[in-house]
Amino acid sequence: MSDDPSGRDLLHELRIDRAARDDDESPRRWPWIVGAVIVLLILAGGVAAFALRGHAATVTTSTAVAAASGSDAAVLQATGYVVARRQATISAQIIGTLTSVSVEEGEHLKAGQVLARLDDTQYVAQLDAAQAQDAAARAQIVKARATLKQDQADAARMNAVVARGYVSKQAAQQADTQVATDQALLDAAIKQAAAAAADVKLAKVNVGYTVIQAPFAGVVTVKDAEVGQIVSPYTVGGGGIATVVDMNSLEVDVDVNETYISRVVPDMPVQAVLDAYPDWKIPAHVIAIIPSADKSKATVKVRIALDQKDPRVIPQMGVRVSFLEKKDANRKPLPGVLVPKSAIVQRDGKDVVFVVKGGRAERTAVTTGADFSDLKQVTQGLNAGAEVVTTPAEDLKGGEKVQVKASGGQ
């Protein structure tokens, strides 16, 4: 190799300075890194938006009903519950241990049917003792009568011969006193026998209480006791064994806003719809308006009788009722439809509802009218039968995909 200095200088110029290169390229690398991050974020947002487009918001809905339909006009609507006017929690009337419980929930009972039995050993023994006392008391009556009869005869003989001097007046008076004493003893024996007979009657009643029977025909809705349990009428809660409901006594209790109670009158026709069976319209009528208001809710309770009895109707079911008034020639039907007040919300200063169609919530502007308890009249923008979101979320948008929440009662 040549030692030419000019060659070494030329090679030195051809060498790459790594430090200088890194310093020169560092400012150029950061824009590319930042750009890549932004692109990744945009892609991630797009993926999330695409995923959310397929997600359906869960909502509950209500059906808009005509404010007036058919031959009757609905002047008011309210909600309430099915209640039983005749039901009883069957309890023991004496203290005892259950030896049998012969009913279960859902069982139909006849009046007088045996529900349970208590251990009657103690009460049968008390009955035997009472009956023995009664027999002894009646024997004392027989003895007292015999003694009285004998002493009455002796006193009569003495009084017959006292004038002849055969006996002294004192002896005759003693005989009369003995007769009076015997009469008092007989009266006491009769009273003691009556008390003993009452004890027998009480003991028989207690023995009868060990057999617990249904007071009326009905259905067992609750079973509270089992064999071996000690029950008592003094137990907290009454020592209940079972609750029996007379299904023929079912009716509806509703709370009507006191502002509209003047529209309700006794015997007024009513149409009831159970939440569990929304397509079943049950004819009914007003039984009575309870003359007392609930000041905390500003409502008045109204009792409604169901004109049709059906095994599908059970206590505590939710029900919506429409109070009906016969149309007349001078009265115009109430226009529009009725929806829950919560279904109407403000959007951009306007009243709107969200109507569910084809799995999407369509925002619909409406014109509202009068209030009917928890319902609102919609005079324009909505037709009867429309399915509206009951309580729209604040972020619910028009056209958003929704899924209707299934009702637990259906």
What is the overall mean pLDDT for the chain?
82
The H or E element containing residue 346 is: strand 345-347
pLDDT (average), residues 120-137: 94
151: pLDDT strictly greater than 60: yes
8 Å CB contact between 171 and 216: no
DSSP bridge partners of 237: none
Going by pLDDT thresholds of 50, 70 and 90, the confidence category of residue 54 is low
How many Cβ atoms sit within 10 Å of the Cβ of residue 237? 8
* Confidence (pTM): 0.54
Instruction: Give the pLDDT confidence score for residue 32 in this predicted structure.
Output: 59
With b meaning 16 or more CB within 10 Å and e meaning fewer, what string describes 261-271?
beebeeebebb
Residue 232's Cβ-count burial label (10 Å; 0-12, 13-18, 19+) is middle
11: pLDDT strictly greater than 50: no
User: What are the pLDDT digits (tens) for 97-128?
Assistant: 999 999 899 899 999 999 999 999 999 999 99
CA atoms within 13 A on the CB side of 171: 13
Of 353, 285, 279, 372, nearest to 324 (Cα)? 285
With b meaning 16 or more CB within 10 Å and e meaning fewer, what string describes 327-361?
eeeeeeebebbbbbeebbbebeeebbbbbbeeeeb
Amino acid at 179: V
Amino acid at 1: M
Instruction: Give the pLDDT confidence score for residue 217 in this predicted structure.
Output: 92
37: pLDDT strictly greater than 80: no
Instruction: Give the pLDDT confidence score for residue 41 in this predicted structure.
Output: 65
Length of the chain: 410
42: pLDDT strictly greater than 70: no
7: pLDDT strictly greater than 60: no
Rounded CA-CA distance 372/324 in Å is 13
C-alpha dihedral sign at 96, 100, 102, 104: positive
Instruction: Give the pLDDT confidence score for residue 405 in this predicted structure.
Output: 79
Instruction: Give the pLDDT confidence score for residue 410 in this predicted structure.
Output: 32
Going by pLDDT thresholds of 50, 70 and 90, the confidence category of residue 77 is confident
Rounded CA-CA distance 99/116 in Å is 8
Rounded CA-CA distance 259/188 in Å is 71
Rounded CA-CA distance 340/360 in Å is 20
User: What are the pLDDT digits (tens) for 61-73?
Assistant: 888 887 654 445 5
Instruction: Give the pLDDT confidence score for residue 70 in this predicted structure.
Output: 43
18: pLDDT strictly greater than 70: no
pLDDT (average), residues 178-183: 91
- What is residue 327's three-state secondary structure? coil
User: What are the pLDDT digits (tens) for 212-267?
Assistant: 999 999 999 889 888 998 888 875 444 589 999 999 999 999 999 888 888 888 99
343: pLDDT strictly greater than 90: yes
Torsion of CA 331, 337, 341, 346, to 10 degrees: -110
CA distances from 177 to 140, 165, 170, 172 (A): 20, 20, 10, 9
Rounded CA-CA distance 198/133 in Å is 11
Going by pLDDT thresholds of 50, 70 and 90, the confidence category of residue 173 is confident
Instruction: Give the pLDDT confidence score for residue 2 in this predicted structure.
Output: 47
Here the tokens at position 268 are 């007024």
51: pLDDT strictly greater than 50: no
The secondary structure of 215-284 as a DSSP string is: SSSEEEEEE---TT-EE-TTSTT--EEEEEE-GGGEEEEEEEETTTGGG--TT-EEEEEETT-TT-EEEE
Instruction: Give the pLDDT confidence score for residue 68 in this predicted structure.
Output: 58
**379: Cβ contacts below 8 Å, ≥ 6 apart:** 335, 336, 367, 368, 369
